[in-house]
Each structure stands twice: as C-alpha cells, then as structure tokens.
C-alpha cells in the first residue's frame, strides 16, 4: 500500500533505499509565499548526517539536497517541492554477507514475508537513511511554523542509564555535544557509557524529548485527528521507537486526579494553566501551553556480537554483523523526531484554518 | 476538519454527542459475506456500558444498537454499515453549572478556543460516550479478524499502584472482575484502592494491555503506515491516554542490543522468535509473534474535590464537579483499546491484500 | 472499499439502502458557527422527493430528516453532523420477482459479481434513494457557500429531444414546472413527450445544467484536485450520468483557439473575461466568472416493456419491470446535481483557506 | 493543498515545472514482484515527447527517465518508485515577455489569484510538461494491468471537424500516423486541416477515445468511488479537457430506455451483454464488457494571432504568443488519457482485492 505519504494538507511523500541511486521527498501543500532555499533544508539534514563523531557510523555521506521543484525566485509557489539527495557512499560489498539472512531486530524477515523479496543492501527501504525525506520535509515545516512564532526544540534526554539533569538544562549544549544532550556533564558520562558499549561489541538505546513553544490554542481535531494521536503516529513511525509519551506520559497512570489536573488561572489577563502535566494538549487540541513529547528508542539492532538467527533457506545460523553502524542512534534521531513533530503540527495548523466561519470570512471577505 | 474518520479500506466515521439524540458510526469497507447481527455488536457495547458496578458511574444507559444499513439476510453486503445508539439517560440539568466554566483536565477550554462555541452538556463530542462508535466498529472488525484466526485480548494491567501478577494471569477473570483485571487478587486490592479514592473525592488512572494472537507475518506498511504507528495513533486517540508502548516499550531505552534483539530460530520447521521484546512488529510489519501494546490512562479529571479554574467570562473561580462520574475509567476503556486495535489491524490486513502480484493472481485468475 | 466518503475537509459519508431501515449521511468538517436547522435540509430533500407530480413515481415518501448530532442551540459546532431519514414506504413485495434476475441497465449483475450477494430490494444501495444523503449534505454545503455570496442554480436543460430556449430563461419556472425547466413552454412540450413515453411503456433521459455565481477566483488545486476534475467526479458519481461537460464542453473540440479563448479585460477596474467558454475554470482553478457544468442523464432503465436478460441461475429469461418508477429521473436529479456541485465547491473553498502564508496570518495573527 | 497525489492504493504523486530542474512522479503502492525496467516507462514517455512531427512543437526534449527507487534486480519491491526526468531544453528567454501578462485560455491569471505569485516560465506547474509524471505512472499501471490480461487502447477520434471512420478502424495506424488516428485517410485530412490552422496562426482541438479490454466484472465501488466517476476525474484533470463521456455519453440523453438498455444474454455459457451503450460500467462497477470513454480537448490556447488581455499591473494590452507550441495537443495527449485510465483502473483493481471474505481467504489461508 501507499505507506509513504503522510498528512492531509501538508502532505509529504518520501521514497528511496539505502543503496539505490538516492532518497528524497515530495512536499505538497506547503503554503505559497514562504522564503525557502536549499540551505534551509541542508541545515536540518546536516544534523542527521553520519560520520560527525566517534559515536556515529564512520560512513561519510555528504547528503547534499537539491530542490527540483516548487520554488521560484526564492519563494514557495504552492506547488509540490521535490527534494533529492543522491547516495554517494554505498559499499554494497559490505552487505552481501547478510543478503540471505534475517538480522535479529531488523525488518529483513518481515519485508521478505510481506513482499516475497527485498532490497537487502543496507536495509533497503527500512534503513535509517529513509529518514532523510522526513528531515527535509521537517525543515520546511519548521520554517513555516516559525512564521507563526512556533519553535521546536528536541534533544537527547537519556542514553542507556544516563539521563540529563533538568535543573542543568543548557539549550546551547544540544548542538555542542556529540550526544545532543542539553547537559554537558551528562553528555560526558554518556560518551563514556557508549565507549564501553562499543568495546563490548554492543549497542544502546535512549530517550528523545521534544518541546514546542508558541503553539496557539485550538490545533488538532477531535476523535481520530487529535494532535496527540497524530504526534504519536508520526513519532512511532520512526524506526526503533517503541513508546511515545505526551506530557507526563506513563507517570499519569499512578496519579490521582487532584494531582494530575492542571488548574486554569489568569496571567496578565490571559487564561493559562498553572502546571502542564497534560503536555499542552487537552481533548486532542492544543491548549496554548508548551507541547511536550518523548520517544523511547531501542538499542541499535546491528551489533558485532554473534547472534542466533535463520536464513532465507530456513537454516539456523549464527551471524556477527559487520559494517559501519552507530552504537546508538539517539543523537542522530533527535532531528528526526523534531521533524516529525513539525510536520504533524503544521498539518494541524493548516487544517484548522477552515474550522470556523469567522476564520473563513477573514480570508474571503478581504 | 473531518477528524471523525479513520482507516484506508476499513474506514469508520463516528458521530454524536453525550447529550444529543444519539451516537453512532458508519463502517465502510467491511468485506462482503460476513455473518453479522446486532447481537455481535451489542456484546461489545455491553462491555463499555456504565452502571454495571460500584466503581463505575451510576448512570444507566441501555446503549442498545440498531443496524440501519449494510447487512442483508444476516450477512454484510460490502456497503456501509450504519449503527445507531440512542441516548436515553441524559440529565442535562446536572451540567448547567459547568456550562460557562472550564473544567481542569477536560476539553472545555480547547473546544471553545478552537470552535468559538461548544456543546457543553456532558462534554459534548469530547465525552467518553464518543467511544460508543469506536466499540461498535471494533466489534465488527474483531469478527472479521476471527475469520482469519486472529484473537484480541485486552485487560487492565494496573490501577493506580496496583498491578496484576503476570504469573497469576487468569483470562476468565477479565470478564469476572469489576476491574477487568486477569488476576482476582490484584482486582480485590484495586477495588479497595478505588474505594479510598472515592471517599477522598478523588480519582485514579491505570494501564491497559492488549495482546493479539494469530496475526500472520506481513501486515503493516513501511514508513508512515507502519502497524505500530497506526496502533499508536488509534490508541492515543482515545481520550485520557497519555502514552502508548509496543512490546517492551519504555524499557528498551535502557537495554543493550544484545539483550533486546529477538533471535530467530526454527520451531516445528517454521521461523519463529525465541523472545518477543519487539511485541510482534519489526520495521512496522507484523512478524508472526504475539502483538503486545499498552495504553497509559490518566485519572478521571472529573472529581468532587474543589479545583481552581477560570470561566468563559475570564473570571477566576473554584469548582467542585458534581454529577455521575467513574472514579477510574480504565475498566470500561479496556474494550475501547481492544476495539481500536482490532480496527487498525483489520485495515492493515485488508490493505495488504493487494501488496503482491501473486496475491492478486489468487483473486483475479480464479 | 470505503466508497461512500467524499471530500478532504468537508467530508461526507453516506449510507443506506432503498428498503432498509433508513438512509443518511454524516457531514464532517462543516465549519463551526453556521446557523442550521432541520428545515434548511428538509427544503432540499423536498425537491427530490417522489410522488409530487404525474411524471414522478407515485411512491409517497415523507423523507423527513432528523439531525442527530453536530449542532447546538441552532448552530454548527464543528463536529460531525449526522442526518437520518427513515424509510417508510417500502413495498418489498413489489420486488421479489426481480430478486433473482439481472435488470438491464441496472447494477444487479455488477453488485452480484463484485460482492457475491446483494440486497435486491429496490436496488439496495444502488437505488436512487442513495442520493438522499447527497442532497442532505448538499443543503448544508449550499448554506455555507451562501455565507460567502455563492449561489448555485441547477435546472433541466432538456428532456429527450425537448430543450429549453436560453432566450426565454425564467428562473422562477424551475420550481414551478414539474420538469424543473426554466422555460414553461418547453416544459409543457416535455410533459407531452413524457406522456407519450409512458403510454408506450418506455422512459426518457435528459440534460441537467448547473451554474454557480459569486465564486471567488482561486478555488481548486492544480493537477489532480482541479475544480473541474472534482466536479466531474462528483457529478459522474450520480447514478445514470454518462457525460459531464464544463463550460462549452464537447463543443470546444471543433473550435479554433481564436474562437475559444476568453479575452481578459477590465470592467469597473476589475479583471474580467469578455466571454466564458471556459465555464469559469482555467487550469483547474476558478477564475471569478460563472461556473457552468452539464450532466447527461440516461433514460430510466426500469421500463414496463419486456426485455431480454439472464437470471442468477444462468438462464435466459424475459422480464417486464413492474413497480413504481419515474419515466424520467431528470427533474428529481436536478437537486442532486446542484448538491454535488455545492459539496465539491465548498471543499475547494475550505482547502484553499490554507494555500497562502498571508491567508494564514489573517487567522493566526488575530 | 496537496493536489498532486491521486489514488487510494496505487497512489501517485507528481511534481515539477516546465522550466525547473526536472519533473517526476513517486508511484507508491505498486504491488511487489512486477518485472520493471526504465525502458517500460520510456516507451510511454516517447509517445508524448515533443518534436516528433511537423504538427508538434519543434522543442526537442529527450525526456529520459531515471528510476531512483522501488526496484531491485529488475523487479518492483512494493516500496515507492521514484521517477525523474530532467528538463534539458528550456529557453527561458522565450517566456520573459509573458512574465507579467495573463494569456487567455491559460492558468496564468488563476495561479496568480490563488497563490499571489507564480512560476511564469513556460506555464510552470500548469504546463503540459506536468503530464510527464502521469505518463510515467501510467506506464507502470498498464504493465501491472497486462499481468491480468487487461489492455488499453487510446487514439485520436477527431481533430477539429475531421473524425475517424469507425468502419475503417486500423489499430496499427495509431502509432504510424502523426495524428494518432486509427484511420490513415482521416489522418491525412486532419494534417491538411492543421496546416491551414498553422498558416492562419490558429490552433485546433479534438476528441480522444480510450477503450479497455479484458476488464473483469466487479471493479469500482458504489457511490463516490464509482469506476466511471474516478475515470471522469482522472481524465478531466488533464489540462484542456472540457468534457468526459462514458459509453454512449451525451447521446443517451435523447434516447428511450428501450433503446439504451443493454440486454444480458449467454454466450458460450457466460453472461454477456448484447450491446454496450453503457461502455462497460453499470452502477459504477465494471460489467465485464469493453470500457469506453472519450475526452473532449480544447484548442491549444497559445496562438500567434493577437489577443486582448490584461497584465499584472491591471493594464489592458494586446499580445501575440511567440514560442514553440503545438497547433493541436490531441495526438500527444492520447498517451496521457490512456495513462490516466490505466492508473484509475489499476487502483480499482487493487482496492477490490479486499472486497470479499472469500477473496481474503484465498490470500490468508494460503
């Protein structure tokens, strides 16, 4: 099925395999009149690029984006924006050993069962490189949202057992640390933890948090197009995510209503909440507070340690996965989670433009 | 926006307010030839019906379903199945006090901000009664799935601090306990805990788990229509859910790859996994193992204890919510989570029918 | 498949069979804040009601609509509007003769081939009564459009060989004649023609025209969501329509560019076209002129004259269709075409609200 | 809005402007296991390529397609197939004269009104080159359909006043004549007619017919996803199409039921129709007969003759459109109409795979 398209108005369609000619995305429904250059997108792609630190795969990929359509004289025209990133660093030879076997924790087996065949080179469509299209589309979404004063900030909250100290939150550290943690001390500890993982041929997971400021109240639609439901889908659709939380998330199940409800009060004459357990969403609709979400990421399934598995011919074998892999994908996935949140929020903002007769009169009576 | 429709092939559209004439759902895309009676649906609706125990709202609603279309001589015809449940027990008088105020933890404020007005009676569209349409559609989905040997089992895993003992799992207890816990001892403790909540005018949350057996490998589509992404959306779209986990969920973030990967082995000549940390889904596609998901439910926001809030006129007030409310919604939400899982899984199964040329030849060469 | 849902933002889902308990529609995505009563909808339904003249089926159906959700204190709330019309005049006995046979020109055979079974009573889902949901949704769409000064006018342009005289166009006549022709003289001739049809146990077809005034320029989206493409789909989806024309339609194929192009000029300082061969749409987007479309309707397939056919058992038979049928469906289909045009145009108007950054700033900077 | 995506299961997303870096399409939902090479697609693209005869624009475009994803070892993998055609022959200098003016019959004015700006080079997104994506996707669709014995044949039925003689139908002539007429004599007359058009600086329109053989009964869905409704949308969405007919089309409005109904009879033990006025579709569902549709194409709006119009500054001007234009687009549009029909039919075939419980059991019980 057509599983590579997401969104109602801001609709993105990604494509591409790890070792094919390239990857990309078509972004349809971007409003006309936005200033946009390749550099706006490249900045985001560079945040997910491999080969930038000792805790990321040593593969070097330029991942340079080309805008193929949808802009004219530096502005979006309202027509589809097609973005292309050519693959340049494929070492297909690295992967022939796994052509016939089912790597534990990967999608090799399920793709084979679903389609009867698969592009086994580097995971094909299930490779982490698939997120290039997401990030490129997220960069554009974030730029549109910034026009309305909406800002997204994602970061690593934990790697393995090492969590950031919320009281030491340093936003600049997100870009300065190799872990994307907003806490340099925690980051140093995480680096040490990861060095241990690598030396024992193993891998680690972690938690990514994304907060969104400046969101007007009223975004999201009741029942199935709730903002939290769509955020959950968007974030869970990223490979390796196994849990999604909104606001206080799993903690709410052990609370009392009297602890968990956020009281409304006035601040400077505006209605506001005195706490934000809800994470900025009530009844699936943004309430004007900061939106907060978390994604729990599993450890990289590709490890050097030997593992039991089965091959396509139905034989039990043991494999040791060679190649260039991240010991943890969390730092590079931070921008992916931020992008998915931006895409989802922008779609809700665009859809909401037609929710009220008075909104429409602002447009059609001008 | 049209937020009340879900699904690609099995497409459901729910409608209705707590205190309007009724609620219902149109189920389109149900395959033709399924035996279906109103009783199949009523059985599910009865599981979410209020007034069945001392830990549920004392409102009595018959919630009797009428099939208005889509079946003929006891079989589905392939055309839309329209289901109607009339509201019969509305006490609008109970709600006039809150017409003008924004209850903490509810969607009153966000609906007002989004639409400029709202049906305040009993929460209107954001009432828990909105789930009637979901459960009716879920009953049909579950019946279709059963034709293919797929069985869903949902239950309460915890209420407040009281969790079931997995080693004492008793499936019969799910229907026999008022908590929907598969563990009578835990259920008794949870009842005691809830009695304390009620006596202190407070409420509680909990966790619902759903397992699905008999799922063939290959369901779900890569990238955005991943099975876990759609399950996350479906379950997060249920009011009061604040986190969704697949398989081992949040626990994976502190694991190593060597602990978290599920090895493939042969059992009776068939490929199988020796563990199921992944919860039955790899790369967004079912792997033939049991699917496992959990929903974390916040405490009922309606409590008798006084709360600070603001009214529509922008005045700070204190309210104490009267009326008939559940101290915990978890037991009644179990069938809702099960229904959403069934709806999502069936859609994936139907969509997958056209994934391969050889599948299509099975149909069109007959 | 879920074929009973139409639209992106203004999304309607119809359901119901000719001889089931009832028919209806769920209208989702209607903007909040519109005044709406059952009478607004009933007025439209009354225009398609049978039994109103000697050229329509003598079946009497009250077709009284009930609003089940989506309004509060006389205004739309932004949530789904569910509308129900109970069937009251089913004579199932009339149809048992055709339970097993395939009526020429009807969908009996194709439904059986598609689904393996069918509700044969009165055509089931393929009955003309299916249009009740369309007309109910169209009434609401037309009311929203009227808020923006957009007015739709549909009428019978011809019945069999009898066409209206455009120079004698009398808008009042549309509601005053039994043919829905805006020309009383032509209508009288058409009545005579139809009397002849009936006396020879035969039926007739005709042409419906719909014009739309007051449409702002800019509605419709390039490529696949062109306004004319969606109008064509919407109108062709009405049973018995076999051709759709926009503007000068089929005539353009024999024209020269110099004859067919509409020149732009200024009128009262505004850009306007000096002719309207294009029918108000250029490149799939409304150009501010009157939108013009036509639907060609086949003669009613149910006729008393004997016809050759085959039954379910594969036997060749001759049938003569008894029962209460319209000798021509054109007059009653006028409001159906108008409704489909209204639904399509409203959706384009709502979708267009998010097309430009400056539109969005009108909403979100308020 | 996202207007560049079409289809439910076989979902295509086109992108690109006439004078941007290139054009293309992402084809998602193509079943896995189809043999596919770039040559399969190039063959179709070559049929719409300009510069191949004296009645087509002298622009030379290689329009060479590159497959960027979705195939592996010569077979489709079920993942999105991204296709790219680079623009190579843009003469932007040709178009600067029209940057500021609204060409009659073109979308310049409506794009400006919709988006506030436009890519004016060669029509930008509203250029005929936009159809490259449609044809590339149509080539794949036709190849899938051929696996099920379904064959599409489109041709020019008339150019201006010159129509083919149905009794002289010669299928080989479609590819051999520059007009794509299946009648060499008519083609020669049409060429003469077009030479006259060109010498008087004018243009012509025409009619394209498409017939589809081998379609199984049962494709298409009731109500809004009727096969004829979707064909009408798909074909009307092609620029310059102003009317769409199915089967006998506009002629049916003057017929009697007794003339227009197609009788069912047995032929070689199979149910068949003795005539095909319906054009292979009854109640929106294929009936197993040949599907017949026609598109009426307006004359090319770009003509050398001077025309009145208005520019962006609101001044009345006279323009004479220079550049390289087809005097008639019909011959090159033949493959576009065929492609749109193929795309639509394939989607209906894929969607129908899940219509019946017994179909599904063919797949899931294997």
Q: Are A183 and A279 in contact (CB under 8 A)?
A: no
- pLDDT at position B105 over 90: yes
CA distance C355 to C221: 9
What residues pair up with C198 in beta bridges, in sequence order?
none
Burial of B362 (0-12, 13-18, 19+ CB in 10 A): middle
Instruction: Give the residue-averaged pLDDT of C159-169.
Output: 97
Which residue in chain B is spatially nearest to D348 when comparing CA positions? B354
Mean pLDDT for all residues in chain C: 94
**Do the chains contact at A310 and B264, CB–CB below 8 Å?**
yes
- pLDDT at position B97 over 90: no
List Cβ neighbours of C89 (8 Å cut-off, separation of 6 or more): C59, C60, C61
State how far residue A21 is from chain D, nearest Cα, in angstroms: 5
User: Coil, strand or helix: which one is C121?
Assistant: helix
Q: Choose, out of D258, D328, D348, D360, the residue to mutate when testing the contact with C (most C CBs < 10 Å).
A: D258
The secondary structure of D57-86 as a DSSP string is --------EEE-SSEETTEE-SS-EEEEEE
In percent, the amount of chain B with pLDDT more than 70 equals 96
If residue B308 lies in a helix (H) or strand (E), which one and from where to where? strand B307-310
What does the buried/exposed string (b/e) look like for C343-355 if buried means 16 or more CB atoms within 10 Å of the residue's CB? bbbbbbbbbbbbb
- pLDDT at position C266 over 60: yes
Global ipTM: 0.97
Q: Which tens digits make up the pLDDT trace of C114-161?
A: 999 999 998 999 999 999 999 999 999 999 999 999 999 999 999 999
Report pLDDT for B98: 76
Q: Are C41 and C51 in contact (CB under 8 A)?
A: no
State how far residue C286 is from chain D, nearest Cα, in angstroms: 7
Report pLDDT for A230: 98
Which residue in chain A is spatially nearest to B359 when comparing CA positions? A115
Report pLDDT for B89: 73
What is the number of other CB atoms lying within 10 angstroms of the CB of residue B99?
Answer: 14
State how far residue C73 is from chain D, nearest Cα, in angstroms: 32
**Closest CB to A32 among C32, C144, C357:** C357
CA distance C340 to C302: 24
pTM of the model: 0.97
What residues pair up with C255 in beta bridges, in sequence order?
none
Encoded tokens for D189: 């007359």
State how far residue A73 is from chain B, nearest Cα, in angstroms: 32
Q: Which tens digits make up the pLDDT trace of A150-202?
A: 999 999 999 999 999 999 999 999 999 999 999 999 999 999 999 999 999 99
- pLDDT at position B116 over 70: yes
Q: Which H, E and C letters describe B152-182, residue by residue?
A: EEEEEEEECCEECCHHHCCCCHHHHCCCCCC
Q: Choose, out of A144, A220, A355, A365, the residue to mutate when testing the contact with C (most C CBs < 10 Å).
A: A355
Encoded tokens for C184: 């009383």
Sign, CA dihedral A346-A349-A350-A352, equals: positive
Encoded tokens for D118: 């436009």
> Range with the lowest mean pLDDT among A42-51, C251-260, C279-288?
A42-51
Residue C162: φ, ψ to 5°: -95, 115
Report pLDDT for D12: 98
Encoded tokens for B220: 């779900």
B-contacting residues in C 109-128 (Cβ below 8 Å): 114-119, 124-125
**Do the chains contact at D298 and C218, CB–CB below 8 Å?**
no
CA distance C301 to C321: 9
Report pLDDT for D49: 82
Q: Which H, E and C letters describe B12-79, residue by residue?
A: EEEEECCCCCEEEEEEECCCECCECCHHHHHHHHHHHCCCCCCCCCCCCCCCCEEECCCEECCEECCC
**Do the chains contact at D16 and A125, CB–CB below 8 Å?**
no
Confidence of residue C1 (pLDDT cuts 50, 70, 90): low
Q: Are D346 and D10 in contact (CB under 8 A)?
A: yes
Q: Are A155 and A182 in contact (CB under 8 A)?
A: yes
Q: Which tens digits make up the pLDDT trace of D249-282?
A: 999 999 999 999 999 999 998 999 999 999 999 9
Q: Is D105 left (phi over 0), alpha (psi -120 to 50) or beta?
A: left
- pLDDT at position D52 over 80: no
What residues pair up with C82 in beta bridges, in sequence order?
C26
Mean pLDDT for all residues in chain A: 94
Report pLDDT for C222: 97
In percent, the amount of chain C with pLDDT more than 70 equals 95
Encoded tokens for A31: 């409003």
B98 Cα distance to chain centroid: 27
C-contacting residues in D 333-362 (Cβ below 8 Å): 351-352, 354-356, 358
**Do the chains contact at C69 and B29, CB–CB below 8 Å?**
no
Please report, for residues B211, B263, B272, C64, D20, the alpha-carbon distance to residue B290 in angstroms, rounded to integers and kept in the order given. 7, 15, 11, 49, 50
Q: Are D309 and D299 in contact (CB under 8 A)?
A: no
What residues pair up with B101 in beta bridges, in sequence order?
B311
Q: Which tens digits make up the pLDDT trace of B176-186?
A: 999 999 999 99
**Do the chains contact at C4 and B28, CB–CB below 8 Å?**
yes
**Do the chains contact at C243 and D246, CB–CB below 8 Å?**
yes
**Closest CB to A8 among C8, C359, C362:** C8
Report pLDDT for A155: 98
User: Nearest Cα to A222, choosing from B126, B133, B329, B333?
Assistant: B126
Encoded tokens for D16: 């690109």
The secondary structure of A299-310 as a DSSP string is PPS--SS-EEEE
Confidence of residue D321 (pLDDT cuts 50, 70, 90): confident
CA distance C228 to A259: 55
User: Nearest Cα to D361, choosing from A226, A345, B349?
Assistant: B349
Confidence of residue D325 (pLDDT cuts 50, 70, 90): confident
Please report, for residues A218, A221, C29, C216, D7, the alpha-carbon distance to residue A225 in angstroms, rounded to integers and kept in the order given. 13, 5, 12, 29, 21
CA distance D207 to D243: 10
């Amino acid at each position: 099925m057509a599983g590579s398209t997401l969104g109602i108005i801001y609709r993105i369609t990604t494509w591409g395999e790890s070792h094919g000619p390239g990857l990309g995305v078509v972004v349809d429904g971007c409003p006309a009149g936005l200033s946009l250059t390749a550099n706006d997108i490249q900045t985001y792609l560079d945040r997910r690029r491999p080969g930038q630190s000792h805790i990321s795969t040593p593969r070097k990929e330029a991942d340079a984006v080309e805008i193929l359509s949808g802009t004219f004289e530096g502005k979006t025209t309202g027509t589809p924006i097609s973005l292309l990133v050519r693959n340049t660093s494929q070492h297909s030879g690295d992967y022939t050993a796994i052509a016939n076997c089912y790597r534990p924790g990967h999608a090799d087996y399920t793709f084979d069962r679903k389609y009867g065949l698969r592009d086994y080179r580097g995971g094909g469509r299930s490779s982490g490189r698939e997120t290039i299209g997401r990030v490129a589309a997220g960069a554009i979404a974030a730029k549109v949202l910034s026009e309305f004063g909406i800002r997204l900030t994602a970061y690593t909250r934990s790697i393995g057992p090492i969590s950031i100290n919320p009281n030491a939150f340093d936003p600049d550290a997100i870009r300065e640390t190799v872990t994307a943690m907003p806490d340099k001390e925690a980051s140093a500890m995480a680096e040490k933890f990861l060095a241990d993982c690598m030396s024992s041929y193993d891998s680690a997971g972690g938690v990514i948090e994304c907060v969104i400021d400046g969101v007007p109240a009223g975004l999201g639609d009741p029942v199935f197009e709730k903002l939290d439901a769509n955020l959950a889908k968007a974030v869970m659709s990223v490979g390796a995510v196994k849990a999604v939380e909104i606001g206080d998330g799993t903690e709410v199940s052990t609370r009392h209503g009297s602890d968990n409800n956020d009281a409304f009060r006035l601040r400077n004459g505006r209605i506001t909440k005195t706490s934000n357990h809800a994470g900025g969403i009530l009844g699936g609709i943004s309430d004007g507070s900061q939106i907060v979400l978390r994604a729990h990421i599993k450890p990289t399934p590709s490890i050097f340690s030997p593992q039991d598995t089965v091959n396509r011919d139905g034989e039990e074998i043991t494999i040791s996965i060679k190649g260039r892999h991240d010991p943890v994908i969390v730092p590079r996935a931070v921008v992916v989670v931020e992008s998915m949140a931006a895409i989802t929020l922008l779609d809700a903002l665009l859809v909401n433009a037609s929710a009220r007769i008075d909104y429409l009169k602002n447009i059609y009576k001008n």
